[in-house]
A and B are shown apart, each in its own frame.
Chain A
């Protein structure tokens, strides 16, 4: 069963009227006992072993099983970026991947970047520049922000990179382009770009 089948049924009518066969298909899967699987991950430097329903997303594994609720569920569709984690050095939407696909992965969540008494420079810059309001997209923005600066440093180009051979810089245009998968409905974008620019300058 694909993840698409799993998420297709928020409307009760869909299974009954539009797709009469899908109800039966989903039925056989759902009435069976859940398929459990063991997975071992390294989360924020700690090895964690979990036995999970195979359908558990990496996001829900963190939030519901490890009680690391810093990563947020804004849409569960990979559309908002609030669930962004850094997995094996790359930022991903953790709602779009199953936990059991990450055996052995090195995962950094917002909790791993810094803590209230020990802020990561990006977290401190978000506070200083007021790069957030409600705070719900913030962990995803910060994880993405940290990864974006690393991507630029590594010379990975983006849609707005004009010169693919020269030294890449964390310009506001590069930051805006690369951060566009992280929605902030409160509208803190202008301040987030300033926070990231400050951190990029400090790193340079």
Chain B
């Protein structure tokens, strides 16, 4: 189905199932431990052996020799494959660093060997007997030191943000020089880790030259293609299956070493092999969100209208790696005739930087929205009012291009009212509650809506059961449920008559899970397939599909009402289609908006920060399942608190690795860090987006939260910290007297 004109009235608009807060259909499996994740699939193939991965102990250089003799003699060992036994393998889609093969070490903990044994304990023990001789080389690991040598670079996150090395509209320098009120500040964000709860894991089994991978991956089609390319086998000989994924956040968008090592280990051992990366390997072997140094300059009139805005971001990566696209939202969020955005990239020999939840916007808004707070204070304006004053209904760089729907102002006003923003004391450091200095902060959230082709197959059997098959994944987002809701709405059956099967490369290719594009596109693909199935049903029943009403498990046309299953009485009906998009998103800018509001308490003596209240108001098109969408948003808010207050990969700039490579050293928010969280969805639809009239919302929740926390801390204490995370050591020396 080609979607190239705005959606009119369609069966989804009935909203009998779609749009209703709905318990997840996979909930009973996840809460009873019966949802089987990649490493747990004992049933799929017998005789599974255990693989254990080894990572390089240097950050850069060459592997000279790997001695496996002792390890091979260890009990239970079936095979050892080293990177020196293996020619350099090709890269998978979006991979920057090699996953395995050859003697070059590009980053610390790059995979150099896999030991396969009868048991996990034996594989692990034998791996300690492998000794490795390296020829280390000096590397570059310190972004601040390398930033001076950073080169202008264009780039895309592949998830809706990106741009040229330098994008200009009007005359930024001239307007900035003339502006009566200006800001020129630099902000930094650290390297961060996805730290999803399930480590990357794969079971690999060969049947002759055919390979099946039961793995944990967000993008089945990419991984399908990538693993075939990496191993040099035809794609038709590979099957990927990933029905449950224990979190990804971008860390499982691309094929990683677990899949490659399991496949090579299984080949060498002549047996299926299961392998999970150890927690330390997850951090240095896989990808991370790169650190940034961001300069923001804003010029405004005295009454608070922005006339000039510039955002320049510097990040680092390996050779051929991309920049963190932290400047993108600054092109679209606020008005202003004179604009400059630019990205610079330094070479670093740290592990590969790549997508993590809202790549670009998440760190970009941590800087921009902190700058906006500073600018509002300089102007003597309320931060909400300053943002409202600079709203724009068109792409500021291309004024002929409107937003499809933009209720950013609605988010801010509704949020301010619901949060009690009028009670905020604009003068920082004034409010005390016992041991705590209390402050309120807010920030804008912004993330683009991405349209991607997405397919599905829908089958109807004689019992009236509708089965949906698509290679879409559910990374915790609630895909199973919204897909079932879509099919139920389209076919006029209750939710429990829909079966949803996901994550298998044997199914039609979907958008996959990333860049908050999954929900809208995957359900639109299901919509397209259901439209086709409805036609098939009408044809079988000999009725005009235009008259047919699918409702209450029946198909009705005029006075005739037939149980839906009857259409399949002569055999199952099946329909497959994809949603494909025209140029609507080029004519109009499709984005999602939020207002984030946060209250913090800062301990008067220790400067410990506690988040006391949080609210997000989101304008993101139709919300398909308000229950799981809310969860997506509070999850983003939680990760945003982590980014603001604690998350930081500690770079060992001498040895070239992230030193805090586990969940004790890399701190993420825990229960005690997170208060009750409120989310309000504005009631809206966006017919420009898709037949579902929905947009992405999964990453909007993290966009801007960090700055709202930072701004609340400033309001509480009067201490402005521009280097994230805002740990108490950065506050303590500058805290006001406790008295």
A interface with B by C-beta (< 8 Å): 6-17, 23, 26-27, 29-34, 53, 55-56, 60, 63-64, 67-77, 79-80, 82, 109-111, 113-117, 119, 123-124, 126-128, 130, 132-139, 142, 172, 175-177, 179-194
- Chain B residues with CB under 8 A of A63: 40
Alpha-carbon separation in the docked complex, A121 to B104 (Å): 54
Alpha-carbon separation in the docked complex, A135 to B248 (Å): 12
Closest residue of B by beta carbon distance from A30: B125
B56 within 8 Å of A by Cβ?
yes
- Chain A residues with CB under 8 A of B23: 127-128, 130
Alpha-carbon separation in the docked complex, A192 to B631 (Å): 11
B672 within 8 Å of A by Cβ?
yes
Which one of A67, A70, A137, A177 lies within 8 Å of B672 (CB-CB)? A177
Q: Mark B142-156, 1 if CB is under 8 A from A, else 0.
A: 000000000000000
CB distance from B239 to the nearest CB of A (A): 21
Interface residue tally of chain B, by bracket? 35 or more
CB distance from A172 to the nearest CB of B (A): 7
- Chain A residues with CB under 8 A of B205: none
Q: Mark B17-36, 1 if CB is under 8 A from A, else 0.
A: 00000011011111111111
B138 within 8 Å of A by Cβ?
no
- Chain B residues with CB under 8 A of A32: 75
B90 within 8 Å of A by Cβ?
no
B121 within 8 Å of A by Cβ?
yes
- Chain A residues with CB under 8 A of B129: 15, 23, 26-27, 30-31
A-B contact pairs, 26 of them (CB 8 A): A7-B124, A10-B54, A11-B54, A11-B55, A12-B56, A12-B112, A12-B127, A23-B129, A31-B129, A34-B75, A77-B662, A110-B31, A110-B32, A110-B33, A116-B28, A123-B28, A127-B24, A135-B35, A136-B197, A176-B674, A177-B672, A186-B197, A186-B476, A187-B674, A191-B634, A192-B671
CB distance from B224 to the nearest CB of A (A): 22
CB distance from B440 to the nearest CB of A (A): 19
CB distance from B114 to the nearest CB of A (A): 11
Contact: A133 with B476, CB < 8 Å?
yes
Contact: B32 with A119, CB < 8 Å?
yes
Pick the interface stretch among B375-383, B403-411, B636-644: B636-644
Which one of B33, B109, B134 lies within 8 Å of A111 (CB-CB)? B33
Contact: B637 with A187, CB < 8 Å?
yes
CB neighbors of A among B247-285 (8 A): 247-249, 276, 278-281
Contact: B635 with A186, CB < 8 Å?
yes
CB distance from B674 to the nearest CB of A (A): 4
Which one of A23, A117, A123, A186 lies within 8 Å of B247 (CB-CB)? A186
Contact: B279 with A74, CB < 8 Å?
yes
Known A130-B630, A185-B196, A189-B638: A123·B32 in contact at CB below 8 Å: yes
Contact: B31 with A123, CB < 8 Å?
yes
Contact: B247 with A134, CB < 8 Å?
yes
CB neighbors of A among B155-200 (8 A): 194-199
Which one of B75, B130, B671, B677 lies within 8 Å of A12 (CB-CB)? B130
Contact: A73 with B39, CB < 8 Å?
yes
- Chain B residues with CB under 8 A of A16: 57, 131-133
Most B CB atoms within 10 A — which of A67, A115, A117, A133?
Answer: A133
Contact: B634 with A23, CB < 8 Å?
no
Contact: B131 with A15, CB < 8 Å?
yes
Contact: B664 with A13, CB < 8 Å?
no
Q: What number of residue pairs across chains A and B have CB atoms under 8 A from each other? A: 270
B494 within 8 Å of A by Cβ?
no
Alpha-carbon separation in the docked complex, A176 to B612 (Å): 13
CB distance from A132 to the nearest CB of B (A): 6
Contact: B56 with A127, CB < 8 Å?
no
Known A11-B109, A116-B28: A68·B33 in contact at CB below 8 Å: yes
Alpha-carbon separation in the docked complex, A72 to B248 (Å): 16
Contact: B636 with A187, CB < 8 Å?
yes
- Chain B residues with CB under 8 A of A109: 33
Known A12-B132, A130-B630: A77·B663 in contact at CB below 8 Å: yes
Contact: B664 with A30, CB < 8 Å?
no
In the A-B complex, the 4 residue pairs with the smallest Cβ-Cβ separation, listed nearest first, are A70-B33, A13-B57, A187-B638, A136-B246
Contact: B669 with A189, CB < 8 Å?
yes
- Chain A residues with CB under 8 A of B30: 132, 135, 138
Contact: A71 with B33, CB < 8 Å?
yes
Known A133-B632, A193-B671: A33·B197 in contact at CB below 8 Å: no
- Chain A residues with CB under 8 A of B519: none
Closest residue of B by beta carbon distance from A69: B40
Which one of A69, A76, A134 lies within 8 Å of B475 (CB-CB)? A134
Closest residue of B by beta carbon distance from A196: B671
Closest residue of A by beta carbon distance from B39: A73
Known A12-B112, A53-B119, A115-B32: A190·B675 in contact at CB below 8 Å: yes
B510 within 8 Å of A by Cβ?
no
B524 within 8 Å of A by Cβ?
no
- Chain B residues with CB under 8 A of A185: 194-197, 247, 249, 639, 668
CB distance from A30 to the nearest CB of B (A): 4
Contact: A137 with B663, CB < 8 Å?
no
Known A69-B42, A135-B26, A136-B37: A53·B122 in contact at CB below 8 Å: yes
Known A10-B54, A11-B57, A79-B663: A134·B196 in contact at CB below 8 Å: yes
B493 within 8 Å of A by Cβ?
no
- Chain A residues with CB under 8 A of B28: 116-117, 119, 123, 127
- Chain A residues with CB under 8 A of B33: 68-71, 109-111, 139
Known A76-B279, A135-B26, A190-B675: A23·B128 in contact at CB below 8 Å: yes
Closest residue of A by beta carbon distance from B702: A187
Which one of B27, B58, B194, B632 lies within 8 Å of A127 (CB-CB)? B27
Most A CB atoms within 10 A — which of B31, B73, B132, B245?
Answer: B31
- Chain A residues with CB under 8 A of B675: 190
CB distance from A119 to the nearest CB of B (A): 6
Alpha-carbon separation in the docked complex, A138 to B248 (Å): 16
Contact: A116 with B34, CB < 8 Å?
yes
Known contacts A69-B33, A179-B670, then 19 further A-B pairs from the complex at CB < 8 Å, ordered by chain A residue = A12-B57, A16-B131, A26-B128, A31-B74, A53-B119, A56-B119, A70-B34, A75-B199, A126-B27, A130-B27, A130-B630, A135-B35, A177-B671, A183-B668, A186-B476, A186-B631, A186-B635, A189-B674, A190-B638
Contact: B628 with A130, CB < 8 Å?
yes
Alpha-carbon separation in the docked complex, A113 to B31 (Å): 10
- Chain A residues with CB under 8 A of B45: none
Alpha-carbon separation in the docked complex, A114 to B28 (Å): 10
- Chain A residues with CB under 8 A of B681: none
Alpha-carbon separation in the docked complex, A150 to B261 (Å): 44
- Chain B residues with CB under 8 A of A8: 128
B306 within 8 Å of A by Cβ?
no
Alpha-carbon separation in the docked complex, A187 to B668 (Å): 10
